[in-house]
Amino acid sequence: MFKEARREVQKSMVGYSMPKAEAKSQKNGQSKVHKEELIHARELAKKQREISIAEFFEKNRHLLGFDNPRKALLTTIKEAVDNSLDACEEARILPEVTVELIQLGETRFRIIIEDNGPGIVKQQIPKIFAKLLYGSKFHKLSQSLTAEQPFIIENKGRLEVTTIGAFVDSFIEEGEKDIFALNIKVPAFDWKNYKYSFQPISRVIKHRQNNEIYEIKLQSGRKIKVTGCHSLFSLDSNLKVQQTEARELKMGDYLIAPKKLPEPETLSSIELLDYISAETAQKQYWYVYGLSPGYIREVFSNAWIIHKKTSKSRKYHHFENIDVLDDSYKQYLHKGFLPAYLAIKLKLRLPENSYLQTYHHGKITKVPLDWPLSSSFMRFLGLFTAEGHADHRQAGFTFGRQEKDLIGEVTNFALMHGMDYTLENREEKNCVRVKVFGGLLSHLLERWCGKGAKNKHIPDFVFSSGLENRQHFIDALYRGDGHNTKGRNQLMHTTVSQRLANELMYLWLMQGVIAHQSQKTNRGLGKTPSVTYITTVYGKDIEKSFCFRCNTTSKTNAYRFLPKQLIPELKRSLSPRQDLFQAMGVTHCKFRDFSNLNQHNITYLQRKRMVEVREGQVFCTPRLQLLQEEIPLFFASDLCLLKIVSIERLDLCNEWVYDVSVPGVENFVGGWGGMSAHNSRGQQGIGISAAVLYAQLTTGKPALITSKTDAKSKAAQTKLKISTSTNEPEIIEEIQLDWPEKEHGTKIEIELEGVYLKGRQSVDEYLKETAIVNPHVTIIYVNPEAQQTIFPRAANELPAPVKEILPHPYGVELGILIKMLENTSSRTLQSFLTDSFSRVSPAVAKEICENSAVLPNIKPDEITREMAERLIEGIKKTKIIAPSTDCISPIGEEQLEKGLRKGITAEFYCAATRPAAVYRGNPFVIEVALAYGGELPKDQTVRVLRFANRVPLLYQPGACAISESVNDVAWKSYGLEQSRNSPPVGPCVIVVHMSSVWVPFTSESKEAIAHYPEIIKEIKLGLQECGRLLGIYVRKKTRIHEQMARADMFEKFLPELADSLASLAKENKEKILKALQKMLVRPEIKQEILAGGEEDKLYKMELSDKGEEKEDMQRELNGEGKGR
Amino acid sequence: MKKQEPGKKLEEFGKELVREIDKGKNPAIEFSLRSLSNVVFDEKSRTLTLGEKTQQRLFFNVAHAKKFLQTVEMAKVSKNLLDVGKHASLRDVFYMAKRTIPHSNINIVDDQAESDKAIEDLELITDCSREQLNINANKMGSVAGNVVIEDAGDSINWAKLGSGGWSIPSNVEKIEFKSVKAKYVIYMEKQAVWERLHEDKFWEKQNCIIVTSQGQTTRGIRRLLQRLTEEHSLPIYVLADFDPWGFYIYSVLKYGSINLAHMSGTMTLQNARFLGISADDVANYDLKKHFIKFKEVDMTRLKQIAEYDWFKKNKAWQRQFKLMKDFGAKLEIQSLSSKGITFISEKYLPEKIKRGEFLE
């Protein structure tokens, strides 16, 4: 319910789990605690946890913003207001926030904050407000999975089942790393419809385990190993998804797992060369034909000509990783082909009609390079995965003699593709062996499906091959290695390959089927027992298949029910087919029409608190309404519930554990067979719970939360405390009440010790500044003196929701670029540049390559560090359009100006939104606004209001890049006073707002923006843009001022001139004066006076008598002497 | 304007302005433009004179108004002086004009430079020198020699005025030369040198007139020198430091200055000669050890002077400039004292004049 960008919770905090000895020694420093030492040891131990949470807060209060009573008051309001604004924006509601500060004692305040947000469901209230989070980001220990946990990712449109350990290890050795730029996605459910989609991973995390690890097994054979603090998901009694830490789970609980994974882009064909190893190809007679001499020439134009001396000097074409003899080149050119290994090594992008040519006993076989994924091919693969093995020159299948159709399937496929095959009867084993010849085929099958029964796996492209093709593959696999048990409605597959078993679970998941898996250990004659994995599909799921059918009447699968223990009102589990009322024994009943119910039904429903009877009328209770809405929602979602069958605590120590962050949705799919796992980002709203704790520690009073989610229901009011012993919410009182003045919204009342002061770091200032940068917000503020201030809404549009974009090349650092190059699937540098970055067209990519002196068709993995450095330089030299601002939400010039008008009274306003720029690959937008003149103090330093992502920065102005930029700009030319490198002086307020996906703060307390040159440059440009407008205004104002002064001056000159002239010419003074005064009002004279500027030239000339020619003239003026 | 009494001219100037005002015209004063761009070296008269350009000063003009007012004010002050037949110094005149315009913070004149400038403008407008307008500069400079003059009814013998000599007034127009026995005039830059020569009775021995100015050559001295050379055909020798500024003093005396180009006719000394110290003296009298090294300003000044029209074609002078440039150093007159306190009066000057070692 809170937005990411605003509430980047502190990354790391000084450890909560501080060693006890240290904690004690620190305590000893305080005399007050000396007495406590005398307390009995056992008592002390009992208090230990209580001490530690209070102590933890004490230790970290500066990071949380509770350093002193003044800041505590501000922080509390800040957290609450930020939350309100975020919640409103997320729900697309125009926010209206009321803040009331009531002074109860000298240092005691009651804070009441009320918003019109979407409201919080009653059950969520305690978690949000009364649990100080020390897990996840806030805690040193992240939530994590063990290395071998399966993990599914989508990279460049292809799904891949890997393990989280292998995935994270490819980026880091230890710690955390931001990989947002790589755009690798994982399936994650959203929190509205619970539908799965692919969401990008923002960071990967790897660290040593420091708490216990649990292995949790579910009823379908799914299992996951997580650290105790890692959260998994379950459903609460309101059918809302909630998270629960692994250590708190019990047997019999239900956990959430995906029912269906999202569909990636469907792959219709694969590039065979991607799967052939250059080493094997070099040993074989495999050639790529269908190439024009022009194409070959172009390929070789990238090579250097070198000469090598063996027996005689020979001419070679030198590529980065291979040299080709000139004679060979001539032959390629002549016949229009290239050896396959060359095409692989050079990562060539081959023309469309090219094909692979192989020889088998002199017979030519042509294979298209762009291999189509047909259903027959998928079935062939399925059969091979089940039954086949690959030799050097042939692929062998062993079938039972009765499996004629399977034999036919294989031979047909071979015939169609021009491959030779043989059938060998093996009498003794009662089986038939089918051999399909061809070195290329056997090589490919080995690469696709693995070698040996224990290493079999599913070809990676199968996952992306589309629903039907996947089913063909599964069917063939089950026909080969599985069996359809008669009369038992189950389809079983048996394998000894652990990898295959796991991948099969995921493959079924792609089909929207929850497969069940079990293990069987066979203690045969061998020394080591072998493990067999059995993957079973039951009931209706079998019907998904094209060839298998249920043997008996199909039943609904268990995971498609809602367990009755979740909804105690239900007698039995609920399936999606069953109508809610039917399930409760009530028939023929529509939504709110109870007229057809008999008294028996109504009494039953009344007892279950589903209906209320008032004055003879039957009404739905909110509970029934909720169920009516939530149950269909859950059934329509991609989630299902699976029962926990075992929880085992593993006493492993110092294992590496892993996690990834998925911003926004905070979950991913992992574990054996696929479970929904919470990720490391953790719950937000940490600040407000800290405020509740602070209040409780200083006054002992609980927090009072009132929230209403819609107009029809009642508001829930909860009195809360945080238990300092368990860090759990303690509900003191919970009531339902009418809150007629609000349709929806939340009200928080907190009583705390604080100090209220006015000034730059005050509550008043914070609210005012918030109103400036959030012109769409209405803030009503009542200060302790009971004075009400209203900052009315100045704009009726909400900030635009943000979109994701690829990273922009400007500002990408060398390390990130190298990593991206290593991980790309693009074949050439040019395509890498266009695919991995935003705003890079092929033309721009070429220009980058040109500017960096790197060939555009070089393969990304051949780019050396030195070349990458040149690329960075090349990018800097290339003009690239600024990144799209879709991914950030700037306020906008007009809106910002409106906001400023709302907050500051002045006579001149202007605002500028800079085009998006980039630092370290992160796009950001700088906005600047100015207010000038009016009541603003003329002789004071200009006030600079700093904002990051619409949040005012009130502390540490000296350390901030914004302040530095302001000092750096030459304000004198814009009409303000300024001494060198110091803040300008004048009647002016400067607003600088930085919005970015990631604002770089100087420290964890998020009070100042770090000094990146790109950011400072943008801020300065923005300031200058506004400065120029200000300069024009100030000059105009000065001119008018001067004109008036001049007119005034003439009026005063007149009597003087008249007087002098009268005396000189012996005339009447009054007469002259009158004549002069008459002239003064004449338009041409007036014009002359006011347009003083036109005479500038003459004026300057007169000035120059004292000016330019000063040296010479002055010396002479003084009497022709020496001017030494 | 015809040649008239200065008082009349001023009155006419005022009346003209009043007439313009009556007609409803923006009152304007027109006079020769007095800036570098309008100063030319007249080859014929070999003096600096003003060119043809004129400037207009309007009252109803933001940039001009105050100056206009100052000019008229100065005219009024001068007219009053003429009317009562009194003289006043530049400083007096400044105070006579200085006052604050009622209900404002504007002074008619803020400092003396402004009033001085207004007077110079007035000189151009009326074609009268400031002395004719009854405004005098401070007295500066002394003179001694075998000359008897009559000034304001008193007869003064320049040879009998003790150690101080006669101090030269600002206005020398009214002086009458009764008897001039001296054969030539030496003008020296430094008061100290004058005192040396006076103590040694140099003027008596050499039968000449010695003149100095306290620091800068005032108009009075220049006019006095001009009258001596014009009315009594005395040659004038200039004794100055060996440095660009010394050369410049000579240049101003002989050819006039930019600032007083309009007065060139009554100021310049066509037959002035530069006696010393010259570059040749450095070698002849072994003065190299007293060199003061050039600063950058000295060098630039030297270059400017060398470029003057009147020096450009003068080979003797160009040689001096070149030698000075090569030395990269300058020399003071007083350095001659290293040879003995009376060296300058007994040896240096008599020798130089006898040998006719001077530059023209």
Nearest CB to B26; choose among A1064, A1085, A1117: A1085
Over residues A1036-1054, mean pLDDT: 81
Q: Which helix (H) or strand (E) holds B203?
A: helix B202-206
| pLDDT tens for each residue of B109-123 | 888 888 888 888 888
The residue ranking higher by pLDDT, A831 or A1090, is A831
Q: Identify the band that residue A686 occupies on the pLDDT scale cut at 50, 70 and 90.
A: low
CB atoms B17 and A1049 under 8 Å: no
Tell whether the model's pLDDT for residue A1118 goes beyond 50: no
A1016 Cβ neighbours under 8 A, 6+ residues apart: A961, A964, A965, A968
pLDDT at A1090: 67
What residues contact A795, with CB distance under 8 A and at least 6 apart?
Answer: A775, A776, A894, A895, A898, A899
A1076 close to B (CB below 8 A) = yes
Residue A38, pLDDT score: 37
Give me the residue label for tokens 């913003």.
Answer: A65
| ipTM for the assembly | 0.76
Residue A425 has pLDDT above 70, yes or no: yes
pLDDT at res. A748: 92
Q: For the ranges A50-59, A546-555, A798-807, A1047-1056, which has the lowest average pLDDT?
A: A50-59
Taking CA atoms, A707 is separated from A121, A334, A696, in Å, by 8, 81, 21
pLDDT tens readout for residues B280-308: 888 888 888 888 998 888 899 999 888 88
> Do the Cβ atoms of B225 and B12 come closer than 8 Å?
no
First to last CA, chain A: 80
Write out pLDDT tens, residues A475-504.
888 888 777 666 667 788 888 888 888 888
Amino acid A1024: pLDDT: 94
Flag whether residue A1123 sits within 8 Å of chain B, measured between CB atoms: yes
Which amino acid belongs to residue A625?
Q
pLDDT tens digit string along A15-69?
333 333 333 333 333 333 333 333 343 444 444 444 456 666 776 676 667 878 8
> Residue A1096 pLDDT > 90, yes or no?
no
> How do residues A819-874 score in pLDDT, each as one tens digit?
788 878 888 888 888 888 888 888 889 999 998 888 888 888 888 888 888 888 88
**Hey, how many other C-beta atoms are within 10 angstroms of the C-beta on B274?**
23
Provide the pLDDT for residue A26.
35
Residue A10 has pLDDT above 60, yes or no: no
Task: Read off the tokens for A311.
Answer: 């027996």
A631, A239 Cβ separation under 8 angstroms: yes
CA–CA distance, B16 with B28 (Å, rounded to integer): 9
In this predicted structure, the answer to whether residue A237 has a pLDDT above a threshold of 70 is yes
A780 pLDDT above the threshold of 90: yes
pLDDT for the residue numbered A680? 40
Segment B330-359 shows an average pLDDT of 88
pLDDT at A357 over 90: no
How many whole angstroms from its chain centre is CA A1075? 80
A977 secondary structure, DSSP code: B
Min Cα distance A916 → chain B (Å) is: 48
What is the structure's pLDDT at A120? 79
For A789-797, the CB contacts below 8 A with 24+ separation are: A789/A764, A791/A767, A791/A902, A791/A903, A792/A902, A793/A94, A793/A96, A794/A895, A794/A898, A794/A899, A794/A901, A794/A902, A795/A894, A795/A895, A795/A898, A795/A899, A796/A94, A797/A895
Partners of residue B60 in chain A, C-beta under 8 Å: 1050, 1079-1080, 1085, 1088-1089
For residue A6, pLDDT over 60 is answered with no
Q: Tens digit of pLDDT for each residue in A261-317?
A: 888 888 888 888 888 888 888 787 788 888 888 888 888 887 788 887 777 778 888
For the cut 60, the answer to whether the pLDDT of residue A1 exceeds it is no
- Chain B residues with CB-CB distance to A1096 below 8 A: 63
Active site residues of B: 95
Q: What is the pLDDT of residue A1105?
A: 37
**Is B307 in the A-facing interface, judged by CB distances under 8 Å?**
no
Parallel/antiparallel/unpaired status of strands B142-145 and B208-212? antiparallel
Closest residue of chain B to A1095, computed from CA coordinates: B63
A99-124 average pLDDT score: 88
Answer yes or no: is pLDDT of A98 > 50: yes
Helix intervals (H) in B275-336: 279-284, 296-306, 309-312, 315-327
Task: Give the HSE-up count for residue A1030: Cα atoms under 13 Å, Cβ half-sphere.
Answer: 30
How high is the pLDDT of residue A576? 59
Inter-axis angle of helices B90-97 and B112-126, to 10 degrees? 100
Residue A611 reports pLDDT greater than 80: no
Reported as half-sphere exposure (CB side, CA atoms, 13 A), residue A1035 has a value of 10
pLDDT for residue A285: 78
Average pLDDT score over chain A: 78
d(CA B261, CA B36): 10
Q: Is A1121 on the interface with B (CB under 8 A)?
A: yes
Stretch A1032-1056: mean pLDDT: 83
- Residue A890: name the closest of A800, A803, A805, A769 by CA: A800
Q: Which amino acid is at A364?
A: I
Quick check: A1025 pLDDT over 90? yes
d(CA A417, CA A430): 29
Residue A990 pLDDT class (50, 70, 90 cuts): very high
pLDDT at position A751 is 93
As given in the structure block, the two tokens for residue A838 are: 């935003």
In the beta sheet, which residues pair with residue A703? A720
Nearest to B76 by CA among A1002, A541, A1072, A442: A1072
Q: Is residue A184 reached through a cis peptide bond, with omega within 30 degrees of 0 on the bond before it?
A: no
Instruction: State which residue of chain B sits closest to A1107, comparing Cα positions.
Output: B35
Q: pLDDT by residue (tens digit) across A557-610?
A: 667 677 766 776 666 556 655 555 554 544 434 445 566 667 777 777 777 777
Nearest-by-Cβ selection for B18 from A1050, A1055, A1065: A1065
pLDDT of residue A64: 67
Grade residue B32 by pLDDT with cuts at 50, 70 and 90. Answer: confident
**CA-to-CA distance for A95 and A745, rounded, in angstroms?**
10
User: Picking from A152-166, A806-820, B278-292, which range would have the lowest pLDDT averaged per residue?
Assistant: A806-820
The pLDDT confidence band at residue A148, using thresholds 50, 70 and 90, is: confident
Q: What is the mean pLDDT of residues A544-555?
A: 70
